[in-house]
Chains A and B, each alone.
Chain A
Amino acid sequence: MLNYLWAFMIIIGIVYGAFTGNLNRVTDAALESASQAVTLCITMAGAMAFWVGMMRIAENAGLLQAAQRRLRPILAFLFPDIPKDHPANQAIAANCISNIFGLGWAATPAGLEAMKYLQTLNRQTPERASNSMCTFLVLNISSLQLIPVNIIAYRSQYGSVDPASILGMAVVATSVSTGAGILFSKIMCLTGRRKHG
């Protein structure tokens, strides 16, 4: 996916630049962007050191696990097809908590494990996604991240007066997208059930 997207960006840029007489600026822009990426990476390294370090304390102190337990009743509502003590619950909770606290890359392994468990519970044919799988994916894609650490870091790098000022609005926007995702999933699960008896 990225292959084509990236190649497309560069080819279009060069061809369009040639037609509009901006070709001389293309090389400059390429080199300048590359050095901007390095500067940005230094800022990001700082922000990530700070946030991941703090979250490691939370994890080792048992805070994240406690948050996962709090999530259980919500998961029971969202995934009624998963038995109460099934390990799928644990994997889904770990995935959601990582996402909520802005540890997106740590969320993927737990998410894939959750999919593996959901596949063993799948009552559709093995090639068709179950209701739980669809709900889980929609939930993930609706963005659960409550604290967008990366965006705050980018904003501070690019000269924002108050980089964290978006936090409150970001929580509202994320809740709206997640709420819409949950509503949609619930409607699909209910109508599907009626149709198939």
Chain B
Amino acid sequence: MDNPLVFFSKGLIPVILLIVILSGLTARRNLYEDFTEGAKDGIRTAVKILPTLAGLMIGVGILRASGFLDFLTDGLSFLTEKIGFPSQLVPMVVVKMFSSSAATGLLLDVYSQYGTDSRIGTTASLIMSSTETIFYTMSIYFMSVKIKKTRWTLAGALTASLAGVAASTWLGMAGG
């Protein structure tokens, strides 16, 4: 028997699919048409983000090839070692606060450098899954209603992100 988290991981998506299909059938919908409509939107979204992703992957690729990312992680390692956080992930965590797609570029770099299933790769996956871009989200949402004083939003956002990063590191670095 797998441990509960692994069991959950294996079963979650299939169970959701089953529920979705059954509810589509009971609602007597034309589900295949619904699926293809949604699929069309999904593909459109993926194509729409290609230019952004290409630009940022080029940026990360250049940084990696120049040796700067290694320089940065080596320089940071004495700081992060003490708290048990992998210095290789510092650039990604910092960038994630500002831009999700730029952080994705760095995540993919982590995957190709250290492997998706390594401890670092797993931790990176978890961090990306459990945090959101702080400054981008705040500026879009608050600007839309002309709020200038954001009070404790930033402090709360940082608290939540820090908790997410800590939990990810604990889970990811322990298993791997």
Contacts and interface: CB of A to CB of B under 8 A. Distances in A.
A196 B173 CA distance: 44
Given A6-B102, A54-B35, A188-B156, A168 B4 contact: yes
Contacts of B145: 115-116, 118-119, 133
B55 A6 contact: yes
A164 B136 CA distance: 28
Interface in A153-197: 154-155, 158-174, 176-181, 184-185, 188
Contacts of B23: 57-58, 61-63
A93 B24 CA distance: 22
Interface string A110-132: 01100110110000101111000
A143 B129 contact: yes
Chain B contact surface mostly = helix
B66 A20 contact: yes
Interface of A: 1-2, 5-6, 9-10, 12-14, 16-17, 20, 22-23, 25-26, 28-30, 32-34, 36-38, 40-41, 44-45, 47-63, 105, 108, 111-112, 115-116, 118-119, 124, 126-129, 133-138, 140-143, 145, 147-148, 150-151, 154-155, 158-174, 176-181, 184-185, 188
